[in-house]
Amino acid sequence: MQNLKHITTDLRYDIVSKIAEGGMGIVYEAAQRGTGNFSKSIALKLIREEYSAIAEFQKNFIGEARLVADLIHTNIVQTYHLGKTSAGLYYMVMEIVRGPHLEQLIERHHTLGRQIPVDIAVFIISRVARGLAYAHQKTDNDGRPLKIVHRDIGPKNILFTYEGDVKLTDFGIAKALDLMYNEEGKVIAGKDEYLSPEQASYAVTDARADLFPLGIVLTEVLLGHNIFRSADRLESRRNILSMPIPKFSTLRHDIDDRLEAIIQKALQRDRDKRYQTAAEMLTDLEIYLYSDRYGPTNEKLGVYLKEIMDYQHPGSRPPMPGETRKN
């Protein structure tokens, strides 16, 4: 059980609820206290106690915080602070995002027996591409490219606010110049069904490795399932490397030729034939959305999210899956 006593005694935070947990960390909603009854809602990400004394995990957690500290962009979850309690627990103070993640949105549509509208699906992915374009182009204070590669693009790491903002999170296994622990060529970083062919074959990656899984996520949002996923992890990787890529317009009739071309380019296994930058993919997605019509906006997405997730207001919403609230 994560020991939270040091968070509330050493620091000026009150834990409100557990939002999510993963292999290495747990994320809580907390209230940051200040003078004059000041209170600000934040997300508090803690390294798990069982990993907090392991140098490799400490290095990755610190590396993630250092990496994202200066990634200040509307489509990336912002990190405000990295700290350590007197008990030796590392924590990050992050922007809180009140809304579902993309996997929950897909699951909600399954429950309702509906498909996510094509324009909403493309808009969501275009906002992720926008955040990636910023991250991939980021430089350090000396102007050196940081060469950031997220390496964990997937529905759980794409968050929504109920105002319609789309935010990429969890740079925990990202790599970047001089900042992150990295053993490419020896280990596979990422989830098997969302790998690029480079990751699946133990090759050294560059920013283009984030665009293949972004293409996978686009098809999953459109179809409601990941075509590469298998119950067997090795089989998922084999599918990434060799499964014939279908013509997606045969799987959903309202995928037109223009969108088909974008998907097929994103899913090119040869990275030299794939989109070369996230900005290039973003441009094609936005031309698709806006060249001949008034396309979706954050506000339109926000209205859709509230309707589909049966949102009322923050005080009345049910806990998200996996979230527990303190009475």
Q: In angstroms, what is the C-alpha Rg of the chain?
A: 20
- Residue 152 designated active-site: yes
- Give the length of the chain: 327
Residues 6 or more apart whose CB falls under 8 angstroms from that of 314 comprise: 98
CA triple 76-80-86, angle to 5 deg: 135
Residues 6 or more apart whose CB falls under 8 angstroms from that of 16 comprise: 28, 29, 30, 31, 41, 325, 326
- C-beta separation of 184 from 204 below 8 A: yes
| Residue 95, CA distances (Å) to 84, 159, 272, 319 in order | 18, 12, 36, 18
User: Beta strand 166-168 with 324-325: parallel, antiparallel or unpaired?
Assistant: unpaired
Place of tokens 């070369």: 276
Tell me the β-bridge partners of 25.
47
Distance, in Å, from the CA atom of 259 to the CA atom of 265, rounded to the nearest integer, reads 10
Strand order through the sheet with 25-34: 79-84, 90-94, 38-47, 25-34, 13-21, 324-325
Distance, in Å, from the CA atom of 251 to the CA atom of 223, rounded to the nearest integer, reads 7
Tell me the β-bridge partners of 134.
none
Place of tokens 């409601």: 224
CA triple 256-262-264, angle to 5 deg: 95
Q: Which of 10, 14, 119, 152 is catalytic?
A: 152
- Which residues are part of the catalytic machinery? 152
